[in-house]
Amino acid sequence: MEGPPVIGIPRALGYYEYLPLWRAFFEALGCAVILSPPTNKALLDQGVRAAVDEACLPVKMYYGHVKALAGKADHVFAPRMISVQPKTYLCPKFLGLPDMIRGAAAFDGGYPPLLIVDVNTRHPGGGWEKALTEAAGKLNFSRARAREALKVARKAQDEFESRLLQGEHPPTALARWEKTGRVLEPGGLLPRLPARHREPLTGEEPRIAVAGHPYQLFDPFTSMNLLHKLKSRGIRVVTPMAVTEEKTRQATCHLPKRLFWSFGQKMLGGSLHLLKGPIDGLIYVAAFGCGPDSLVGEMVERHARRLGNVPYLLLTVDEHTGEAGVVTRLEAFIDLVARRRETAEAATAAEG
């Protein structure tokens, strides 16, 4: 007797924002779910060889993560993410990525079968519920079973997003869903974070905002473990993931028009909101060759300059970026932040 379908989920791109939704849904259907391994050099090199040269680093990583699931999964879930919020689009590479992977498979081989569905909120009812219901149908599950699985998936995703807004970073918040999607106790959500995660900054630890696409910022390999490096130096890190949608909109309401890239809008609005708060500096992590990053990073830098007292660092990374160079720039930036804090504290003491 055949076992349940095994669904593979690449540990890249939408993984850092939608893993709870995806895993909880497929496990509630009765599927087995496996993840690709964490990014490493061999996996990245494999993706670089397979992808077109014009692709950005996160897309090249995705190729490697999909291929790493070959022989382990019956299907790899590869949604075509066209629009995940009303009146917005995602990067064109997201739109074409499933076809790019299929093209690579036809040319090179060694790729697992893809489970492809469209996510397009620009069409009525074209969001995740429709896409996941379609995915269930392709796996020969009934619509009734899909509806029940969607209830579990929505609850898991809501719980995950609430923890992000409390200040928990995605790698920590995702840890429980990397093991299973069945983590919610009957009758309620997981316990709220301890109070120390929600309290405003106190004491003398520097507070630095770090902005960037979650799939780049929270991947330890491609981000050169940036967040850990900052925390190990006694720095408190905040990211746009902890900024609500309402605050994101308010921070960009003065702009002539809203960005039509949903991820770019989140990064821009979240960064501008954080620039208004008590932070000692802002680091923007961009992928080389990413058009939206080029625009959003420039806009964030201009606002930081207008404020005049917020140090800003742009880190652009690709597959050739060396950790030594990143560490050198990071240490210089931290020294700048420390000098700014010392100057401000001395001025405050003199006034007192």
pLDDT at 242: 85
Cα 343 to Cα 100: distance, rounded to the nearest angstrom: 52
pLDDT at 31: 94
Can you name the residues that pair with 285 across neighbouring β-strands?
Answer: 212, 315
**What's the half-sphere exposure (Cβ side, CA atoms, 13 Å) at 273?**
23
Average pLDDT over the chain reads: 84
Tell me what percent of the residues of the chain surpass a pLDDT of 90: 29
Q: pLDDT tens digits, residue range 156-212?
A: 999 998 888 887 887 888 888 888 766 554 444 454 444 434 334 444 678 899 988
**Residues 221 and 39: beta-carbon distance below 8 Å:** yes
Is the pTM value of this prediction over 0.75? yes
pLDDT at 183: 59
Q: pLDDT tens digits, residue range 236-266?
A: 898 888 888 888 888 888 877 777 677 778 8
Q: CATH for 207-351, among 1.10.3470, 3.40.50, 2.40.128, 1.10.357? A: 3.40.50
3-state DSSP assignment of residue 106: helix
* The pLDDT of residue 326 is above 90: no
pLDDT at 90: 82
- The conformation of residue 277, written as its DSSP 8-state character, comes to S
Measure CA 243 to chain center: 14
- Calculate mean pLDDT across residues 287-306: 82
Q: pLDDT tens digits, residue range 116-140?
A: 999 888 888 778 999 999 999 999 9
Q: pLDDT tens digits, residue range 264-290?
A: 788 888 888 888 878 888 999 988 877
pLDDT at 194: 47
Q: Which amino acid is at 163?
A: R
**Residues 229 and 208: beta-carbon distance below 8 Å:** no
Q: pLDDT tens digits, residue range 42-70?
A: 999 999 988 888 888 889 999 999 999 99
* The pLDDT of residue 108 is above 60: yes
**Residues 285 and 315: beta-carbon distance below 8 Å:** yes
Between strands 281-287 and 312-317, the pairing is parallel
pLDDT at 193: 46
**Residues 128 and 21: beta-carbon distance below 8 Å:** yes
Q: How far apart are the first and last CA of the chain?
A: 79
The residues spanned by each domain of the chain are: 6-180, 207-351
Which residue matches tokens 């605050």?
A: 247
> What residues contact residue 277 under an 8 Å CB cut-off, 6+ apart?
none
Count of residues in the chain: 352
